[in-house]
Amino acid sequence: MIGVIRHLRRTALLTALSALAGLALTAAPATAAGPQASAGRAPSLRELPEPPDAVKARELLADLVVTDEDDVPGYSRAKFPHWITQHGTCDTREVTLQRDGQDVVQDDQCRAVSGTWYSEYDGLTIDSASRIDIDHVVPLKEAWRSGASQWTTPERRAFANDLIHSQLIAVSAGSNRSKGDKDPGNWKPPLQSYHCTYSRAWISVKATYHLTANPAEAAALAEMLDTCAT
């Protein structure tokens, strides 16, 4: 019965997210032709929607289903369609680049042609969008092996393009590729000062999507939460 309830809650949530994504596509204004610039912002927690505070994150972590996770056969990135159009000619990657950067200028196709980005994972400041990756805080393959293998393609598309929760962040290509599909039991941001935010974001996404955590992952998340100021 508990499993059925969890499934119904997850399905209802993802259906709502899919509907919200559809609303954004029809309601968001198209990008005006010509370059656009974002307002300058100092490096902070601007890179992703603010995750729950440490107290709430501990509660959410305690509620996660902790179990061993296997590499479920059949994974493919193509089963998580991204990057989808968000509005006009802007896809999810370009929206995130604009959101997370300073003085970002976009061309009439919404491509970031200049700007700077501060990579919270490793503390690098980067001045070329080609050297920036948009990281899924909870990687697609990690989601697959912790529950997403049972989702529909529209549900996986909503997850892979989620701009509402703390799931997408612009970081250096090097740090993103070092991370790969590893969970916190096997990889943490090199910049220890970001461990608090990273763990809160990871826990929030797992809780939102009713994904499981393995024992080493849960232990690492608890340790990272200990770095949060009290």
Backbone phi, psi, residue 42, to 5°: -75, 145
Which residues of the chain are modeled with pLDDT < 50? 1-9, 12, 14-46
| Angle, helices 195-208/215-225, rounded to nearest 10 degrees | 130
- The residues with which 168 forms a beta bridge, in sequence order, are 136
pLDDT at 80: 98
Whole-number Å distance between alpha carbons of 222 and 188: 13
pLDDT of residue 28: 34
Q: Which of 230, 216, 78, 80 is nearest to 143 (CA)?
A: 80
What pLDDT is attached to residue 47? 54
Distance CA 224, CA 230 (A): 13
Provide the 3-class DSSP secondary structure of residue 131.
helix
The answer, as to whether pTM is greater than 0.85, is no
**Secondary structure letter of residue 94 according to DSSP:** H
